[in-house]
Amino acid sequence: GRYRIDYIMRTPELIGQVVIVKGWAKTARVQGGGDFAFIELNDGSSVKSLQVVVDKSFPEFSRISGTGFSASCKGLLIESPGDKQPVEMQITSLTEHDFKIIGDCDQNSYPLAKKNHSLEYLREQAHMRPRSNLIGCVARIRNALAFATHQFFNSRGFLYVHTPIVTASDCEGAGEMLQVTTVMGKTLKEIPVTPEGNVDYSMDFFGRQAFLTVSGQLAVENYSCALSDVYTFGPTFRAENSHTTRHLAEFWMIEPELAWCDLEGDMECAESYLKYCLQYALDNCYDDLEFFEERIEKGLIARLRNVLEKPFARMTYTEALELVQKSGKTFSVMPKWGDDLQSEHERYVSEDVVKGPVIVYNYPKVLKSFYMKLNEDNTTVQAMDILVPKIGEVIGGSVREDRLEKLDEMIQFKNLDKESYWWYRQLRMYGTVPHAGFGLGFERLVMMVTGVENIRDVIPFPRWPGHADF
Ligand code: 4AD
Ligand code: MG
């Protein structure tokens, strides 16, 4: 039968059997005076490759060379004489075994023919980069963390709700939306790209203005205020013209919404969820984590274990600000009360003071979105952000304002259009409940788990200003 390489590596009982594997060559070299070829075959099931030894009597032997070709291999699994891997495959018997190259790979033009490409170069080859070990590991980690997400929330009784991508509402009220236009009866080639050829696309969702969602929160709140605990997990979009290593124009977000929940419950859920994801990766992706440990961040696995050991530190915005002000460090700006904590300040608190994740809560209302619940002091809101070393904010959340008058005050305070939130306001008119939630930027979680430092390398096809090929 045919097996995946990861399964073969973990199943010593297969030794002595003839099996089929299919994959791509990482490397291939001819040895033994030209009698044997050694292929490192990878099929994506693991970062580990299977060593395949092919005898020169096979007709396709002479086509074996370089990297990147695809092959179908039928051979005998034997215990590996070397100690690099537990098992290898021998293809020697012309009657029982078989070796076929499915697709050759021209080494002169193959974008990944050489070894050790820079991450920048790989980004330009996004169609080919899943062939690289690093992007392969990232893909498996993403898959595992997505699976862990569904497991965590489902085991706690949350319902997965699909919220819309196309919407007229600006969830964050921050004015960072990408607009939707319709293209009917034109192929991509025929769409005018010059300003002269442009039509007015301003009301172009069939006569209505529409955008790509910045967050599924407001929509998922509607479900939470009927079905209790829910979550959404999907792509979100921000028209930020930022070129940082932590921002994308298209990223994935997990947004749980908890009915009957306060700030304490929200923080507990967020911390447990993050820890669940880290534990899941340690339990299920150890080979990939070892790869990142070796290639990207020494001490990665110890760092992850360390996060699991202790409760996250907690402090108010005011306390975090005081730490920054009393640090004796020179920052490019020194914030006063009411100012946003810049990433240099967030990093100081989580990296230098706490040395781990920290939950900062009770932010000034001037800094946060309109839907956050006002505290008694009338100046702070029940918001909470989770900051982690190197990355900064991975989670942003809050208790939601469940009192209609207060919500209306806040909409006015933020100079937003009350009418456009008519459906959101109705949740506060008909059976309102206290509720809270948060959003985890999925790519920032992947950065945290892998140590990869640029967010563009932890999503298959990164979108940032001006970059949307493939
Ligand atoms: O803090 P944000 O903007 O919060 C919200 O969108 C809320 N509606 C979430 C909620 O309460 N349901 O974004 C949440 C998280 C951030 O903490 C960050 O991890 C990530 O989303 N994020 C980004 N990730 C990549 N690129 C960007 N441009 C991001 N903007 C936010
Ligand atoms: Mg935020």
Q: Are 240 and 249 in contact (CB under 8 A)?
A: yes
Atom 15 (ligand 1): residue with closest C-alpha? 441
Token pair for 54: 């092919």
**pLDDT by residue (tens digit) across 98-115?**
999 999 999 999 999 988
Atom 26 (ligand 1): residue with closest C-alpha? 247
Question: Per 3-state DSSP, what percentage of the chain is helix, strand, and coil (rounded to 5)?
Answer: 35, 25, 40
Amino acid type, 278: L
Spatial CA neighbour of 379 closest among 315, 432, 316: 316
Q: Which atom of ligand 1 is nearest to the CA of 455?
A: 25
Amino acid type, 383: A
Q: CA 387 → CA 254, 272, 274, 434, 435, distances in Å?
A: 16, 15, 12, 25, 22
pLDDT at 173: 83
Confidence band for 32, pLDDT divided at 50, 70 and 90: confident
- What is the dotted CATH code of the domain comprising 129-159+228-457? 3.30.930.10
ipTM more than 0.95?
Answer: yes
Segment 436-458 mean pLDDT: 98
For ligand 1, residues with CB inside 6 Å are 171-172, 215, 217, 238, 240, 247-248, 251, 253, 255, 393-398, 437-439, 441, 443-444
Beta carbons within 8 Å of 35's beta carbon, 6+ residues apart: 55, 56
Within 281-434, strands assigned E span: 313-316, 358-364, 380-388, 392-399
- What is the dotted CATH code of the domain comprising 5-103? 2.40.50.140
Atom 21 (ligand 1): residue with closest C-alpha? 441
Give the ligand whose atoms come closest to the C-alpha of residue 234.
Answer: 1
Q: CA 111 → CA 68, 130, 319, distances in Å?
A: 10, 12, 51
What's the mean per-residue pLDDT of the chain?
Answer: 94
pLDDT at 183: 75
Q: What's the 303 CA to ligand 1 centre distance in angstroms?
A: 24
Q: Tell me whether residue 371 is exposed, middle or buried, using C-beta atoms within 10 angstroms of its C-beta: 0 to 12, 13 to 18, 19 or more.
A: buried
Spatial CA neighbour of 269 closest among 381, 380, 397: 397
Q: For residues 194 and 197, give the distance between their C-alpha atoms in angstroms, rounded to a whole number.
A: 5
H/E/C letters for each residue in 337-363? CCCCCCHHHHHHHHHHHHCCCEEEEEE
Amino acid type, 122: L
Q: Which atom of ligand 1 is nearest to the CA of 386?
A: 17
Q: Are 43 and 53 in contact (CB under 8 A)?
A: no
Atom 9 (ligand 1): residue with closest C-alpha? 439
Around Cβ 168, how many Cβ atoms within 10 Å?
13
**pLDDT by residue (tens digit) across 343-359?**
999 999 999 999 999 99
Quickly tell me which residue has 């230098």 as its tokens.
352
Site to substitute for ligand 1 among 253, 368, 386, 442, most atoms within 8 A of C-beta: 253
Beta carbons within 8 Å of 141's beta carbon, 6+ residues apart: 281, 285, 288, 446, 449, 450
Which ranges constitute the DSSP H helices of 85-216?
Answer: 119-124, 133-155
pTM confidence score:
0.96
Give the ligand whose atoms come closest to the C-alpha of residue 274.
Answer: 1
**pLDDT by residue (tens digit) across 157-211?**
999 999 999 999 888 888 899 998 877 777 777 776 665 555 555 667 888 889 9
Amino acid type, 255: E
**pLDDT by residue (tens digit) across 116-156?**
899 999 999 999 999 999 999 999 999 999 999 999 999 99
Amino acid type, 251: F
Q: Are 198 and 192 in contact (CB under 8 A)?
A: yes
Q: What's the 407 CA to ligand 2 centre distance in angstroms?
A: 19
Q: Which atom of ligand 1 is nearest to the CA of 385?
A: 17
Instruction: Point out which residues pair with 388 in neighbouring strands.
Output: 392
Please report, for the chain, the start and end positions of each structural domain, with discontinuous segments joined by +: 5-103, 129-159+228-457
Amino acid type, 442: F
Q: What's the 435 CA to ligand 1 centre distance in angstroms?
A: 19
Instruction: Point out which residues pair with 253 in neighbouring strands.
Output: 234, 441
